[in-house]
Amino acid sequence: MDLAIRLLINLIVAIIIIRFIYHRYSETSKYMFTYFMISTVVFLLCYSLKQNELDIGLAIGLFAVFGIIRYRTHTIQIKEMTYLFVVIGVAIINALSNDKVSSLEMILSNAFVILMLFVIENTYKKKTKLLPQEITLAYSDLFQHDKKQLLKETLEKEFNCHIEKIEIQKIDLISKTVKLTYYFKV
């Protein structure tokens, strides 16, 4: 019964964080599946190993493993990585809280995380006007200094957005590619 209650609490918190905060403010559902599955699996893993007195070591080890995995996969935005750590952390809190931690304390800690995300997202959303997007393109004559406006117009058509600023990060003449960041209004 304890597992079912904790799993339900974890699922409700994950739904609020992932669906109602992350999805609303990130305007993408790209990582929603990943967040739900990692939250559930980490919760079940921690709850299953809870009996082996590995609580603190296990929690720190899980953060370390997912931190290492982050460096071994393609780069994702800091915000998405933060949400990954939030869902892992909440799952660990919900799974490893013991008899000394009341259900009310667990619910309050979850509510505090949700409240912090909501407040920060609302504050961040109001102040943020431009979002960066990093891309790699094949090198062409559009990257010459006198054709910046044409490059901007081409990218706006391609990505269907109004681009405010373009920064060329790296030109690789060997592979004939250009890595750039364009900034668009939300």
Reported pTM? 0.66
* Pair 106, 89: CB distance under 8 Å: no
Res 19 pLDDT > 90: yes
Q: Report the C-alpha gap between 179 and 186 in whole angstroms.
A: 22
Q: What is the C-alpha separation between 169 and 135, in angstroms, rounded?
A: 10
pLDDT per position as a tens digit, 63-122: 677 666 665 666 677 888 889 889 988 998 998 887 788 888 999 999 999 999 999 998
For residues 16 and 36, is the Cβ–Cβ distance under 8 A? no
Confidence of residue 55 (pLDDT cuts 50, 70, 90): low
Q: What is the mean pLDDT of residues 51-58?
A: 65
Of residues 34, 9, 7, 10, the one with CA closest to residue 22: 34
Q: So what's the pLDDT on residue 99?
A: 75
* Res. 12 pLDDT band, cuts 50 70 90: very high
Domain ranges of the chain: 2-127, 130-185
Torsion, CA 130, CA 132, CA 138, CA 143, rounded to 10? 50
Q: What CA–CA distance (Å, rounded) separates 54 from 39?
A: 19
The Cβ of residue 117 has, within 10 Å, a number of other Cβ atoms equal to: 19
How many other C-beta atoms are found inside a 10 Å radius of the C-beta of residue 162?
9
Helix pair 32-49, 78-96: axis angle to 10 deg: 30
- More confident: 90 or 142: 90
User: By percentage, how much of the chain surpasses pLDDT 90?
Assistant: 38
